[in-house]
Structure 1
Amino acid sequence: MNKTPSVAVIIPFYNGAKWLERAVKSVAEQTIAPAEFIVVNDGSKAEERAALDPLAQKYGFRIIDKSNGGQGSARNVGVAASTSDYICFLDQDDFYLENHIEILVGNLPENDLRLGFVYADLHIADGDGGLVFTSSVKEHSPSNPKKSLIDLLKSDMFVLPSASIITRKAFEAVGGFDEQFMGYEDDDLFLRIFRSGFTNYYVDEPVTVWCIHSESTSYSIRMCRSRFRYFMKLSSQFPDNPDRGLFFFRDCIAPRFGRAFLSDALKATTKKTADKQEVVAILQEYAKVLRQSRYVRRKLKLKFSLVAFVLDYSPPWAIKVMRYATLSTGVRRSLVT
């Protein structure tokens, strides 16, 4: 490309002052600077919000304040406040490698009027930024770039906004992030962009460090709730259609989410977490949806119904035995197939 495209970097911020400087510093040190740099404060506590002003002066970003609405809502507000043709997101606890923008911009295809997004590889780290895995995308999602609806439904996409560049045209065409989600909003966005006929490209080079820790959304009850909402949304949009020989729910959606609901319920029950009843109730609702399907095998329906019942009523020692059993490959496979 002869002219560097205009890029907006948007960071949603919510009570994350202890990580934010690492994130904004990584943006400020990019080999190609963004045209716009915005941090959206999503209703943080006053003491957390106070950390933004000195960082904004030091690193040159714009602050937008809003009431709490979740990460998707904050991202949408940031995009609406920007004008650049391309959008890069960054979560407050992650950070860019120094050539993040340069690599993604350098891999924008020319003359693709239906370009949706370009995404790249990433490193996985702990909360302190110490690397745990390098070049992780292909290990978790071997199908790149995304070409098949079946692949997008049967497993998590592993396309991170923090490792992507999205065209404003595609983002606005699908209405941005679905704000009902506080987890899985990423998969939902990229699936809708794919379904709307936009193209995507994969860069086999890491551009971001994704930090996973106990305070991440991935570990929260909000993620469990959001996972169930996304499961229900996909179940509604992609029902089984025997006339066309398409069994999206039976073969893709149900197995994918069953594994996660089972894992969440086992962990919450054995650890006796405060949200144990809600997490088990989600598994019970999943089992109920299975029972309502005409095409899911009866054996699988019975298994999940039984597991949900046992987790709700059995003594702790029985739960531990069940969790140990499900960790073995054979039993785990029998629960989800």
Structure 2
Amino acid sequence: MKVSVIIPVYNAEKYISRAVESTLQCNEVYEIILIEDQSPDNALEICKSLAGQYEKVKLFRHGDGKNHGAGESRNLGIEKATGDFLAFLDADDYYLPNRFKAESILFQNPEVEGVYGGLGVHYYSDTAKEQYYKVFGDRLTTVYQKHPPASVFPGQLGMKGSFGLFSIDTLTLRRESLLNKMDIFFKNLRIHEDSEFFFRLSYYLNLYPGFLDCPVAMRGVHDHNRITEIETRKIKPCTTKILLWKEIRNWSEGEERMPEDIKVHIRRMHQSFEIANAPLLKKGILIIKYLVCDYSLIRNGLYNINFRKLSTQIF
């Protein structure tokens, strides 16, 4: 295997060295692509030092030298990658030695276009653990059982019961499949750009499970990563979910081959988060609006609305 690992770097001077060194321990890694995204700290200088120290490490920045966010930084990394396979790592996370062990076997099958696995948790300080343990605990972020590729997309949508989650850090893709089957990679969303990518990715590519019962990478939890701000309600989760599901809805409505029941489910999820985030009076107006607009679906039994239940679901 020749794996290109893409790492967007922003405000990560404390963590990027560990991320890179954890990647270098994997023999399957062909190159490490750092996309420095106009960090306000000393991350650029550390990236330059790493690129000078290790032959496999390559450093790039956006053409205008400005901050573009994680999604566009990963897109630039995909453009620069030359390996046969693509993997991703957030700059404050790190790989474990078994990161590509399942992948090295699974990708021998040409039908396998992507592999996902389990993600563990590492607290960078006692303060971070004290503050965020109630959010993450010591739980493994994983898909709960092995599913065939055709079940991954509806599973992520919540159409197959309790499915679980996989992470950008544990995803490995066949580069040729990604480039041939998807025109748009990561979108420029402030939050959930990876989740939006996962939805579309699992629709177009055949994704297979790797190690699900043990971690292949670790999520680094500290005081300033974005996910902790969402999980602890510093950023209102319903607001970000509306934007996520709006993107998924817009995409799905343009997919002629997508089954109608899946489109209906996606539209329902988007509407449920809109209602959950609306003031009380507007909630009633939205419910009436959606009931009227989708009356034919309700009448035909295709649209079983339970807004109260849906509004509590967080992907």
Structure 2 CA distance for partners of 1:176 and 1:210, relative to 1, 3 Å: farther
2:81 aligned with 1:85: no
User: What SS does the aligned partner of 2:117 have?
Assistant: strand
Aligned residues: 274
Match of 1:154 in 2: 158
Q: In the alignment, is the contact (CA less than 8 A) between 1:123 and 1:133 conserved in 2?
A: yes
Cα RMSD after superposing both structures: 3.7
How far apart, CA to CA, are the structure 1 residues paired with 2:80 and 2:74? 10
Counterparts of 1:30-45 in structure 2, within 5 Å, are 30=26, 32-45=27-40
User: What SS does the aligned partner of 2:249 have?
Assistant: helix
2:228 aligned with 1:229: no
How far apart, CA to CA, are the structure 2 residues paired with 1:283 and 1:39? 46
Which is higher, the Rg of structure 1 or of structure 2?
1
Equivalent in 183, 197, 210 of residue 189 of structure 1? 197
Structure 2 CA distance for partners of 1:142 and 1:55, relative to 1, 3 Å: same
Match of 1:11 in 2: 7
2:142 aligned with 1:137: yes
How far apart, CA to CA, are the structure 1 residues paired with 2:167 and 2:281? 30
Unaligned runs of 5+ in 1: 263-279, 304-332
Give the CA deviation at 1:109: 4.2
Report runs of 4+ in structure 1 exceeding 6 Å deviation: 280-288, 296-301
Q: Percent identity?
A: 21
How far apart, CA to CA, are the structure 2 residues paired with 1:73 and 1:177? 9
Structure 2 CA distance for partners of 1:207 and 1:285, relative to 1, 3 Å: farther
Counterparts of 1:1-337 in structure 2, within 5 Å, are 5-30=1-26, 32-45=27-40, 47-60=42-55, 61-66=57-62, 67-112=66-111, 115-128=112-125, 132-138=137-143, 141=144, 144-148=147-151, 149-154=153-158, 158-172=165-179, 173-196=181-204, 198-203=205-210, 204=212, 205-218=214-227, 219=229, 221=235, 226-238=240-252, 247-249=264-266, 252-254=269-271, 257=273, 290-294=287-291, 295=294, 336=312
Q: In the alignment, is the contact (CA less than 8 A) between 2:242 and 2:270 conserved in 1?
A: no
- Higher fraction of helix: 1
Query: What TM-score results when the alignment is normalised by the length of structure 2?
Result: 0.72
Unaligned runs of 5+ in 2: 130-135, 254-258
User: What SS does the aligned partner of 2:42 have?
Assistant: helix
Query: What TM-score results when the alignment is normalised by the length of structure 1?
Result: 0.67
Give the CA deviation at 1:110: 1.6
